[in-house]
Amino acid sequence: MLKKHQHNAHELGVVLDLSISNPFLHDVVASQTNKNYWLVGVTGMKIQEIKHILDEFPMDLNEQIYLYDIQNARVILHEAYKIHPSKKARFQKIGFWSNSSRLQISNGEIWDRRADLEGIEFKIATLYSPPYITAMIPINKSSYGVPENYALTGMLADVFANLKEILNFTFVVTKPQDGHYGVVNNDRKTWTGMVGMLQNKDIDMAVTDFTVTVERSLVISFTEPITQIYHSLFIKNPTGTPHYTAYIEPLHWMVWLTLAFFIFFIPLILYLSARFYGYGSHTANRRELTLGKCYAFIAGILTSARAWDNAPSPLKARLAFFSLLVGGTLVFWHWEAMLISYLSSRVIVLPFETLRGMSIVFWTVELTSIFTNAILYA
């Protein structure tokens, strides 16, 4: 088995001999949903014998089974896959390895080699889910009036139609009878919806906006995601969560009452002090420290904003001026320190700790939707 690593290198883990490991390899390949890399020896076996064994293997298009044969000190490398499980196995040479030339792959990239699907018809299923599938239009019906095939419109429909032309295949469209994407049944083994159809081999592909989950990955294979959707769960604001009252809670109400008195009366006292004791007969200077500017000065020192530039010249007024500046700054620093301590020590108590604990909380989600799976398997 070859294990793929992040550096696009492959580490050789297990080498099997097809002639003696056939039952083991058959069972493993049949059960896997995420394709592993297998390196299997076929030295001494005839081509027809190899093809006969591989025809019985439950392989599909994205298998990573490579076979080697040693000929004249060279390791000849082949690959094996099937366009569809119902078709014959494809067995073709892709390169060789030797001591002198090392590994030489002469037949291009893997998906270039497997680009022609030879007109095979796939059975696919989907559900109405805009903008991915915006319409499912019946184009023929059975004798019972049940649609047997649909024409699709939407983003995924356009992508699939282009792939059809590029890869040379056709398809018929159906939809699950239960109208579900797929959730696991009570037996924890079988599935409903499109996941169940894939699990039972009723369809080849499901072209829809599936949510990738661990449980689903155990029974089906996903393509590379084309988009990412983030789900959010909203609950009522828990008791004890910091909110706008956090700005006032660090200080006692008596402190806030004192500050209100300070903000209302102190600017008036400062204005009168500066007017009658600070600037004397200098009318221009008296206008510099108006009542409005006194209130602005007090607001500035209480919010750690820029202090005033023009202080009174007499000693008494100057002492009052700077006392207010120092006192207001200390009040702000005290409030800021208590706010930080308050926010860092608060513990938010949620009504539940796990999604299973949500049984005491009422919540609503559309049954069998992708959001159901997001809740069940988060």
More confident residue, 360 or 337: 337
What percent of the chain stands above pLDDT 70?
Answer: 71
Beta-strand relationship, 64-71 and 37-41: parallel
Pair 75, 98: CB distance under 8 Å: yes
Q: Considering only CA atoms, which of 75, 70, 163 is closest in space to residue 116?
A: 163
CA distance 377 to 371: 10
Q: What is the pLDDT of residue 10?
A: 42
pLDDT at residue 286 is higher than 70: no
Which tokens sit at 108?
Answer: 């291009």
Q: What is the pLDDT of residue 151?
A: 92
Mean pLDDT for all residues in the chain: 77
Instruction: Please state which of the ranges 47-61, 122-136, 155-169, 183-197 shows the lowest mean pLDDT.
Output: 47-61
Pair 378, 354: CB distance under 8 Å: no
Q: What is the pLDDT of residue 27?
A: 74
Beta bridge partners of 153: 135
pLDDT in tens, 2-20: 333 333 334 444 566 776 7
Instruction: Please state which of the ranges 38-47, 153-162, 295-304 shows the lowest mean pLDDT.
Output: 295-304
pLDDT in tens, 312-343: 555 666 676 677 777 777 777 777 787 777 77
pLDDT in tens, 245-255: 667 777 777 87
Q: What does each C-alpha distance from 348 to 91, 99, 340 come to in angstroms?
A: 62, 66, 16
What percent of the chain stands above pLDDT 90?
Answer: 17
Average pLDDT estimate for 199-212: 90
Instruction: Please state which of the ranges 295-299, 310-314, 348-352 shows the lowest mean pLDDT.
Output: 310-314
Pair 77, 107: CB distance under 8 Å: no
Q: What is the pLDDT of residue 191?
A: 94
CA distance 32 to 38: 12
Q: Considering only CA atoms, which of 92, 41, 112 is closest in space to residue 71?
A: 41
Average pLDDT estimate for 213-229: 84
pLDDT at residue 308 is higher than 60: no
Average pLDDT estimate for 197-223: 89
Average pLDDT estimate for 210-238: 79
Pair 341, 335: CB distance under 8 Å: no
Q: What is the pLDDT of residue 314?
A: 58
CA distance 214 to 177: 24
pLDDT band at 274; cut points 50, 70, 90: low
pLDDT in tens, 88-106: 898 889 999 998 888 888 8
Full-model pTM: 0.56
Which tokens sit at 83?
Answer: 């366009």
Instruction: Please state which of the ranges 1-5, 82-86, 188-192, 328-332 shows the lowest mean pLDDT.
Output: 1-5
pLDDT at residue 268 is higher than 90: no
pLDDT at residue 263 is higher than 60: yes
